[in-house]
Each structure stands twice: as C-alpha cells, then as structure tokens.
Amino acid sequence: MNIVTPRDAFLAAFSLHPAGVAVVTAVLNDGTPVGFTATSLASFSAEPPRATVNIARHASSYPALTVGAPALVHFLAENQVDVARVMAGNHAQRFDGDHWSPDEAGLPRIRDVRALLTGRVVSVTEFGDNATVIIEVEDGSTATDCAPLVYVERRFHSVGDVLPG
C-alpha cells in the first residue's frame, strides 16, 4: 500500500523492521546513573571495535555521553522484557529496582544480560535534534545460556527458526 506522508512511511517501515534490544548506561558528572533502551545499536567497525547508537539531544542520558566518557552496552535476553520496558520508561524510575548494580567504576551495570561491552564514547555527531554516538569497546563478556530478544511491530518477540538458503 502507499502511505501518505514521508513520516508515516518511515514509521510504518521501521515498525516492520526487527531490531535487537540493547541498554546503554553511563553516569552524569555528579555520578547519577543514566541509561536508555536502544533499538538503534549497530556495529560501526570491528577494527577498532566501535558501535553506534542514536539518541535524541533532549534525552536524559545525552549529557553523559560526551567524548571520553565511559559507557556500558548491554544486549538483552529474551527474559528481560521487563528491563527493556523500565529502561525505556520514565527516566526518573529507570534505576528503581534490583535489575542493576554499580560496577567497579561506578557505572550502572544491568544484571544477567546476554552480552556486555564496556567502552568509551569517541565521537558525538549532532544533526538536528538528534545525535549519533560512537562507542569504542574496551572489554566485554557474553553469556550463551540465554536467548535473544527482538523488537518488531511494536512488540517484543523471541527469535524463530533458522531459515534455509
């Protein structure tokens, strides 16, 4: 079907587009934990290991993501829909609960994730009201005993069968 406005076309297409679910966390200058659920996390380069994430400049986490700042990238598992929702909800309540604890550097670490990358912001490019942040990875770990989480058509899903071809 054809859709009327560019914005409607964009929203309809991206609603149909599956995405993994990540949570990016950092701290403000005063040590306050901040973070957000991100479906825009993407690989940027493997050598050196860098990822991008898009964020609104008015977002509560944005002031923490300055060049040089440490950040954590968490890859959520199928059983962490609740964490995805909390970290996408009211920013004043994102750290209410026991889904996180401070790591050795004081950064908010989400518990029981599928993979964790620790790194540092190396670039922030603003364009209009939004920005692309590049995080360079310094360390990380993975857990293989949990399944991936996918967001598509405005709902959380498990991953289905391997496709032939």
Could you say which residues in the range 41-70 bind a copy of itself, by CB under 8 A?
41-52, 54, 56
Site string for a copy of itself, 106-135 (x = CB under 8 A): --------xxxx-x--xx-x-xxxx-x-x-
| Residue 48 beta carbon to a copy of itself: minimum distance, rounded to whole angstroms | 7
Instruction: Output b/e per residue, 63-95; b: 16+ Cβ within 10 A.
Output: ebbeeebbbbbbbbbbebbebbebbbeeeeebb
Residue 142, interface with a copy of itself (CB under 8 A)? yes
- Does position 98 interact with a copy of itself (CB under 8 A)? The reply is no
Helix (H) or strand (E) segment spanning residue 73: strand 70-75
* 30, burial (CB in 10 Å: exposed 0-12, middle 13-18, buried 19+): exposed
- Residue numbers 145-164 binding a copy of itself by CB under 8 A: 148-150, 152-153, 155-164
Binding residue for a copy of itself (CB under 8 A) from 59, 60, 63, 81?
Answer: 81
- Rounded Cα–Cα distance for residues 130 and 127 (Å): 6
Q: Are 52 and 42 in contact (CB under 8 A)?
A: yes
CB of residue 117 vs a copy of itself: minimum separation in angstroms? Answer: 5
Among the listed residues 17, 32, 96, 106, the single contact to a copy of itself using CB under 8 A: 17
